[in-house]
Structure 1
Amino acid sequence: MAGHMDTIIGREGKMKHASKPAPAEGTKRGYTIQAVVRAASIINAFQSTSEVLDLRVVAARTGLHKATTFRLLETLVETRMLERAGKQGYRCCVQTARAKRYRIGYASQSNLLPFTTTVSDSLGVAANAANIDLLVLNNGFSPRVALQNAETFVAEKVDLVVDSQINVAVAAQIAAKFSDARIPFIALDIPHPGAIYYGADNYKAGRMAGRHLARWAEKNWKNGPEQIILLGVDAAGPLLNARLTGVLDGINEVGQYARTVPTHHYDTKGGQFEATLDIVRRHIRRRKPERALVGAVNDSTALAALQAFREVGLERACAIAGQDGSVAAREEMRRASTRLVCSVAYFPEMYGERIIQLALDVLKHKPVAPAVFVPHELITPQNVDKIYPNDSWMKVKPNRV
């Protein structure tokens, strides 16, 4: 039918027909079945057939009451439009047509850091679940490569960029390239001009570690520490090294040690293990520490420092705080009498889902905060199994096929 027809009576008394304009999109029509509309909204809440949502998320995305949402979900399961995934999850069995398949660029900091590798893996999984194309490049700790990668994303005309690079010297240049191309971007861990920041509250995380170090020293060293070692990343500027400022302030809050003992700050060349190992070896030879508190910018530098003390038989002369809560750090904290006394976890395995949701909010022009901080939690040898109870699964060898 070409359109809706209303019958009217003209001035001549003759029957005439006038075209009635179609209702505007979103207008409730007389023949619309609202139950079907609601069921369709449930199906459209799923962004792909691999995405698993629970009742709370579906209700939030559709704006429907939870009770209504539950009844519709169960009905759609019965009709095989949805299927249950786990105890509380649902998965859509219908591939819906999408107006646009987004393409997101992701530049990882490096594939050498366990934390970054975990973030990259979780982003890949989340992008696939959201039906998003992810173009992955590697900045490799290089400002030159980071600039080249930014130019590649612009040339590829991606819809949004997630950038993880630590060199503040080129942050403004990278930001300008994306701004000129009108490409929104999310900066991981290191803020960039004009970007939405996603990552740690570095100072807060440092204070958590510093307070725990000082409490550990009060409990285990009668005379307290005689030196403090800080392992930072100077290329990232004051923002990442705010973790170390927080460490000192946290120590002062508890024990006042940072005001009475010498402090040694070292640049670890991007937070890498081998560079840190050499630095701490040299420090041990020169300073001969007896009771050293070590605040590290990440777990790679923390573990390198621990190895340097351990290989010369001075492990008991240190107490070390890491950052990231990495798998390797958690494994070390399960060793009896370890001197890696804590690490602050940011849960990188959860970054992907949260970053992709943030990216979708930006692309759909929803209001977003200029900075999104990740959850922080102090991990110690005493609580590591409680916070990460499933780590042992990763050590189980699969049965041979």
Structure 2
Amino acid sequence: MKATRRLMALAFALALVASACAGDDGGDAAAQQAVAAAEAEAAAAMADAEAARQEAAQAAADVEAAQAEAEAATAEAEAARAEAAAAASGDAESQAAADAARAEAEAARADADAAATAAQRAEDEAEAARAAAAAAERPAYKVGYISLGDSVPFVKLVSDGIKEEAERQGVELLFCDSEIDAGKALECAQNFTVQGVEGVLNFQVFEDSSPEICAALPEGIPVIAIDIVQPPCELSFMGANNRYAGYLGGSALGAYFKENFDCDYTAYISLESTAAGSANTDRMGGYRDGFTEHCPIVNERIMDGADRTDPALEQLTDLLPALPGERIAVVAINEDGIIGAIAAARTLGRDSDLYYSGQGTDPSIWCEVQNNPNYIASVAYFPERYGTILLPAIINAIEGNSIAGQLFTPHQQITSENIGDYYEVSGC
């Protein structure tokens, strides 16, 4: 129905064009406006039609997946009955029938899994089509994004996800990399003001610089902070539930030390970044909360500025010779610090002495989580999904709608046992 109305609008606009073409210069301007409006309506109609097509495909895929699942369940039940009969009779014929039934069940399960994958793909495509249709309905908002620093693997995943979602939502995204530099973050804000942004996604790391950066932005526009709070202009915070994320990592490491060492260990090393302000305080405090549920903290050493690989490597290389012992707990605000700690331990021949828990689970750490027995647990933030939360929120805010003050990413404890359930680890 909506598409039909748009086609009628297109026909009306073309009639205006024909009428205006016979007129004066004012008519020419009107004709150009009518053509632009008609093109926009046509694009919107096409987007609506594509969304409807994808939704129909999704519905069909869901039906097929449900049917395949039912067939797999039936085949598995039949295989179980055949196996029970074979076990009871003990004859070769019954066993052959059971083996054949099990093979059919496995084939049916494979078909069901394939159908479920196809249904998920259809759902993703339908969601993308719906987003495109919604984008065609509204103006192309101009949004600025200050990256913390795309040289950091976790941040690069966030940035790529934001760019992808901005394109999907029809948003004009102005990207500016602060390169972990407060002065460059301020320049980003100043440039955004000149460029007339209507909203800002702010992922700069220096919390104490946020008042100056806020003052440089256009007055009154919505600002969503990413992972680090940005007073006083922050409308909403999107990112980690820092206290909870830290708790998950600390609890896993503490439980391991309790079960394996009865809490008998040498030291607790905390790799931190006080420049991140409350994000650091909450996350590393959460680590302590989780760890002390199982073991007391012993001989704590706090390494500030160890949120980057090279500083962490340098600080741990200096510290470890003064910490003999085979059981040292190492926790970190991110994976970069853990990578530096692992490198220091290997350089000093202390691979087996340190036990790790990091935050973020970005690809740089996947192989360690999967294969290093001393990497006990990471906590996933799914940075690649940040954009799917941020872009709809900033669009709503620009349009004057209320948004939640806190938009948390989901967290998941990741270990060698379950990392394959969330990521495709390769190249190790």
TM over 0.5: yes
CA distance in 2, matches of 1:285, 1:302: 18
2:334 is aligned with 1:298: yes
CA distance in 1, matches of 2:178, 2:52: 32
The one-letter amino acid paired with 1:274 is D
- How far does residue 331 in structure 1 lie from its aligned partner after superposition? 1.6
CA distance in 2, matches of 1:350, 1:243: 20
Listed one character per residue, the Cα deviations across residues 297-354 of structure 1 (whole Å, up to 9, x for unaligned) are 001101111121122221211111000011121221121x431211110101111122
- How far does residue 183 in structure 1 lie from its aligned partner after superposition? 2.0
- How far does residue 268 in structure 1 lie from its aligned partner after superposition? 2.2
Aligned residue number for residue 93 of structure 2 = none
2:400 is aligned with 1:365: yes
Aligned residue number for residue 188 of structure 2 = 149
Contact 2:250 2:291 in 1 (8 A): yes
CA distance in 1, matches of 2:46, 2:325: 57
Contact 1:268 1:301 in 2 (8 A): no
1:163-242 to structure 2, matched below 5 A, reads 163-178=202-217, 181-193=219-231, 194-195=233-234, 196-222=236-262, 224-242=264-282
- Distance of aligned partners of 1:49 and 1:126 in 2 relative to their CA distance in 1, 3 Å threshold: farther
Contact 1:211 1:253 in 2 (8 A): yes
Aligned residue number for residue 133 of structure 1 = 172
The one-letter amino acid paired with 2:308 is Q
**Secondary structure, in 3 states, of the residue corresponding to 1:334?**
helix
CA distance in 2, matches of 1:45, 1:207: 49
Contact 2:3 2:49 in 1 (8 A): no
**Secondary structure, in 3 states, of the residue corresponding to 2:277?**
helix
CA distance in 1, matches of 2:50, 2:181: 35
Contact 1:104 1:134 in 2 (8 A): yes
- How far does residue 266 in structure 1 lie from its aligned partner after superposition? 0.8
2:296 is aligned with 1:275: no
TM-score (norm 1): 0.74
2:415 is aligned with 1:380: yes
Contact 1:105 1:136 in 2 (8 A): yes
Contact 1:154 1:181 in 2 (8 A): no
Contact 1:49 1:129 in 2 (8 A): no
**Sequence identity percentage:** 25
The one-letter amino acid paired with 2:172 is D
CA distance in 1, matches of 2:335, 2:3: 53
Aligned residue number for residue 6 of structure 1 = none
The one-letter amino acid paired with 1:364 is E
CA distance in 2, matches of 1:359, 1:290: 49
Contact 2:205 2:275 in 1 (8 A): yes
CA distance in 2, matches of 1:343, 1:45: 46
CA distance in 2, matches of 1:319, 1:352: 33
1:346-361 to structure 2, matched below 5 A, reads 346-361=381-396
Q: 292, 315, 324: which is aligned to 2:360?
A: 324
Listed one character per residue, the Cα deviations across residues 128-154 of structure 1 (whole Å, up to 9, x for unaligned) are 111111111111111111111111111
Q: 76, 95, 101: which is aligned to 2:140?
A: 101
Which has the larger displacement, 88-97 or 308-317? Answer: 88-97
- How far does residue 160 in structure 1 lie from its aligned partner after superposition? 0.8
Runs of 5+ in structure 1 lacking a partner? 1-32, 59-83, 397-401
The one-letter amino acid paired with 2:332 is A
**Secondary structure, in 3 states, of the residue corresponding to 2:400?**
coil
1:67-106 to structure 2, matched below 5 A, reads 86-88=121-123, 89-90=125-126, 91=129, 98-106=137-145
CA distance in 2, matches of 1:245, 1:53: 50
Aligned residue number for residue 341 of structure 1 = 376
Aligned residue number for residue 391 of structure 1 = 425
Listed one character per residue, the Cα deviations across residues 139-191 of structure 1 (whole Å, up to 9, x for unaligned) are 1111111111111111111111111111112112222333x522211110011
CA distance in 2, matches of 1:118, 1:163: 15
- How far does residue 372 in structure 1 lie from its aligned partner after superposition? 0.8
The one-letter amino acid paired with 1:231 is L
CA distance in 2, matches of 1:177, 1:49: 43
Contact 2:396 2:403 in 1 (8 A): yes
- Distance of aligned partners of 1:202 and 1:36 in 2 relative to their CA distance in 1, 3 Å threshold: same
**Secondary structure, in 3 states, of the residue corresponding to 1:391?**
coil
Contact 1:241 1:297 in 2 (8 A): no
CA distance in 2, matches of 1:115, 1:252: 28
Contact 1:229 1:264 in 2 (8 A): yes
1:12-91 to structure 2, matched below 5 A, reads 36=4, 86-88=121-123, 89-90=125-126, 91=129
Count of equivalent residues: 329
- How far does residue 99 in structure 1 lie from its aligned partner after superposition? 4.8
- How far does residue 95 in structure 1 lie from its aligned partner after superposition? 11
Name the structure where helix makes up a greater proportion of residues.
2
CA distance in 2, matches of 1:239, 1:264: 19
- Distance of aligned partners of 1:115 and 1:304 in 2 relative to their CA distance in 1, 3 Å threshold: same
CA distance in 2, matches of 1:290, 1:114: 30
- Distance of aligned partners of 1:285 and 1:365 in 2 relative to their CA distance in 1, 3 Å threshold: same
- How far does residue 204 in structure 1 lie from its aligned partner after superposition? 0.7
- How far does residue 215 in structure 1 lie from its aligned partner after superposition? 0.9
Contact 1:51 1:130 in 2 (8 A): no
TM-score (norm 2): 0.70
2:287 is aligned with 1:247: yes
CA RMSD of aligned residues (A): 3.4
The one-letter amino acid paired with 1:189 is D
Listed one character per residue, the Cα deviations across residues 30-68 of structure 1 (whole Å, up to 9, x for unaligned) are xxx789569999x96998999999759x9xxxxxxxxxx
Aligned residue number for residue 158 of structure 1 = 197
- Distance of aligned partners of 1:279 and 1:132 in 2 relative to their CA distance in 1, 3 Å threshold: same
